[in-house]
Structure 1
Amino acid sequence: MLNKETLQHIEAQALAAAAKPISIDGGSNVVVLPNSVNLHSLEQYQPARDRFRGGLKTQSLRDFSKYVERHIRAGLEIESAGFIDQDAMSATVIFNLGNPDWPGHGDDRATLTLKPSAAYTAVQAIAGKALGQQALAEWLEDWAPHIIATASDETLTIAAAISGIRKMTIKATSQRDSSVGDFSASRSAMDDIEAKSQETLPQAFMFQVVPFEGLGESTINLRLSVITGEANPVLKLRWVGEEAQREAFAIEFKHVLEREVGGFVPLTIGTFAIGN
């Protein structure tokens, strides 16, 4: 008489040998197999893969555009789609996404993530940061080709602006008032602290930069503020209209992508994830 384990083994072998697909409503197919059975693909032993799939990741807009064009022109049997993440300045094209009537696997992709230029990285790092005179003067020297300094609507040479920063001093003055009446007396004291320079002190800087590859040149306006509460002046550069300008960069990125690859694949603002 056969025991339980033997019967289960025979049943498992029979199921594995049959492996007959079962069609269900909606076009899906399933097959009944025992838990002990492992599936093995023979694709690796074939001269070619069953289907093309892969993922390109690049920071080059030019290479991304060329790859997308070449891939689309090769002739795809399933629909492609592109998605733009404006916050991350990135875009992903899914070549085998398909559509609701014929969904694809979505595992053949190309992703572009724009790398900020060195100058744009530098201005992002310094905006809003508390700096000493030496640190700001050195930063201005490093990025002088990108900078136009102004004071009272007049343009300063970068050398004059740096000199004004270096020669800044803190001046403190005190004023004391008192009054005496028949039945009262009052006294007040006021300290006036002011930052001055032996030379013209710049008030603002225009930083000209190409923020990302493929985008046009932009001017970032930086306004100088001086904090005088310490023994030495603390300097900050405030990026005027930062959020609006970042949004403008994102909009320009979308327009550039539409020009470069929009003729090959439809583009949508947002990100996309394949469902299970």
Structure 2
Amino acid sequence: MSLTKEALQHIEASHKTGTEAADGHALLVGDNFTVVDMEKYQDHRRRFRGKFQTQGLKDFMAYVGNRQADAPVFIDRDAMAASSYLDIGDVTLPGHCDHSATLRLPKTPEFTAYLQANDSTLDQEEMVELVEDWGHLLAFENSKGEPLERGKVIHAFRKVSLEDLTSIDSEKQEHSSRVGVMNSVTVKNAERLPAVIYWKLVPYEGLAERTLAMRVSSKTKGGPSFGLRAIALDAAREEIAAEFAKLVTDGLPESECLLGIFNP
């Protein structure tokens, strides 16, 4: 039954403390019938609500798994994130979606360094610093497929020099670049420099360790420098995202896990 404004004004005038509404959970007060929520004056909330946010894969699965097994989990592979609304309800009895859990996996410092190095050009000093900073993760291979020692690689980068050669050679070596038809610049002792660097790292917290490859090429314009390019990075990202989705799905066997984003 709906009440007219006049009826509500009459009720308000006859109740100095206000008129109850929403089964006693609120009061209508004042000439403008302002709604006052009474929850804060009660001993307990009407329902549980809150937002749990974490970067820990195990923490997310523990929180969701211990509270509402039938709440769906939405997995965003592109963002390496997952979320669940534990009071979502269903189509017949929808919930308020006030109680949520959100996971966003952080990149590791090692993976961040790998991505920052990708598609970059480093001079000799910067290249040496990269190998010194992350050398404990790296393995090196020259253009012949032969392994190289880290100490010798650092020394080779420090001592690399350029030599002008008069040549009509059309072959482009791993560490050389064409300057003109009759003149090319080639890196001395190129076999001592790595053609491929292998990074052994954990890309995101909670995922498995994997090896990512990066090609090294020499650039001679303006002095010796080195270009770095990740090999098959898109394929690696797909594998990492698939691993993440499988870990969440396997870790919450009683929950419906869906690929996608849900906005309540």
The whole-number CA distance in structure 1 between the counterparts of 2:147 and 2:191 is 14
The whole-number CA distance in structure 2 between the counterparts of 1:256 and 1:138 is 35
The whole-number CA distance in structure 1 between the counterparts of 2:6 and 2:211 is 77
Quick one: structure 1 residues 145 and 50, their matched pair in 2 at CA, closer, same or farther if it must change by over 3 Å?
A: same
Quick one: structure 1 residues 46 and 150, their matched pair in 2 at CA, closer, same or farther if it must change by over 3 Å?
A: same
Matches for 1:6-21 after TM superposition, within 5 Å: 10=6, 13-14=9-10
Structure 1: tracts of 5 or more residues without a match: 1-7, 22-32, 74-78, 177-187
The whole-number CA distance in structure 2 between the counterparts of 1:14 and 1:170 is 96
From 242, 245, 253, the equivalent of 1:254 is 245
Kindly provide the CA deviation profile for residues 91-140 of structure 1, in whole angstroms up to 9, marking residues without a partner as x.
00111112212211112110010011111111111111111111111111
Cα deviation for residue 12 of structure 1 reads: 5.4
SS in 1 for 2:235: helix
- Please name the residue that 1:3 is paired with: none
Structure 2: tracts of 5 or more residues without a match: 23-28, 169-179
From 108, 120, 123, the equivalent of 1:129 is 120
From 103, 108, 130, the equivalent of 1:112 is 103
From 185, 194, 207, the equivalent of 1:202 is 194
From 16, 39, 49, the equivalent of 2:35 is 39
Quick one: structure 1 residues 258 and 51, their matched pair in 2 at CA, closer, same or farther if it must change by over 3 Å?
A: same
Cα deviation for residue 256 of structure 1 reads: 0.5
- Please name the residue that 1:273 is paired with: 263
- Please name the residue that 1:26 is paired with: none
Cα deviation for residue 10 of structure 1 reads: 4.9
Aligned residues: 239
Cα deviation for residue 89 of structure 1 reads: 0.4
- Please name the residue that 2:172 is paired with: none
Matches for 1:130-149 after TM superposition, within 5 Å: 130-149=121-140
Q: Which runs of 4+ in 1 moved over 3 A?
A: 8-12, 14-21
Kindly provide the CA deviation profile for residues 193-232 of structure 1, in whole angstroms up to 9, marking residues without a partner as x.
11224871111111000111221111110110111122x1
Superposition RMSD in Å? 2.7
SS in 1 for 2:214: strand
Q: Percent identity among equivalent residues?
A: 30
The whole-number CA distance in structure 2 between the counterparts of 1:9 and 1:72 is 43
Kindly provide the CA deviation profile for residues 12-50 of structure 1, in whole angstroms up to 9, marking residues without a partner as x.
5147688889xxxxxxxxxxx999322111111111100
The whole-number CA distance in structure 1 between the counterparts of 2:245 and 2:61 is 13
Structure with max Cα Rg: 1
CA contact (8 A) 1:163 1:199 kept: no
TM-score, length-normalised on structure 1? 0.79
Matches for 1:237-252 after TM superposition, within 5 Å: 237-252=228-243
Letter in 1 for 2:57: L
Cα deviation for residue 264 of structure 1 reads: 3.1
Letter in 2 for 1:65: M
The whole-number CA distance in structure 1 between the counterparts of 2:209 and 2:181 is 51
Matches for 1:44-63 after TM superposition, within 5 Å: 44-63=40-59
The whole-number CA distance in structure 1 between the counterparts of 2:102 and 2:57 is 10
Letter in 1 for 2:116: A
Residue 168 of structure 2 corresponds to residue 172 of structure 1: no
CA contact (8 A) 1:227 1:233 kept: yes
Letter in 1 for 2:204: F
CA contact (8 A) 2:9 2:31 kept: no
SS in 2 for 1:39: strand
The whole-number CA distance in structure 2 between the counterparts of 1:46 and 1:87 is 43
TM-score, length-normalised on structure 2? 0.82
The whole-number CA distance in structure 2 between the counterparts of 1:162 and 1:213 is 30
- Please name the residue that 2:204 is paired with: 212
Quick one: structure 1 residues 215 and 35, their matched pair in 2 at CA, closer, same or farther if it must change by over 3 Å?
A: farther
The whole-number CA distance in structure 2 between the counterparts of 1:236 and 1:15 is 79
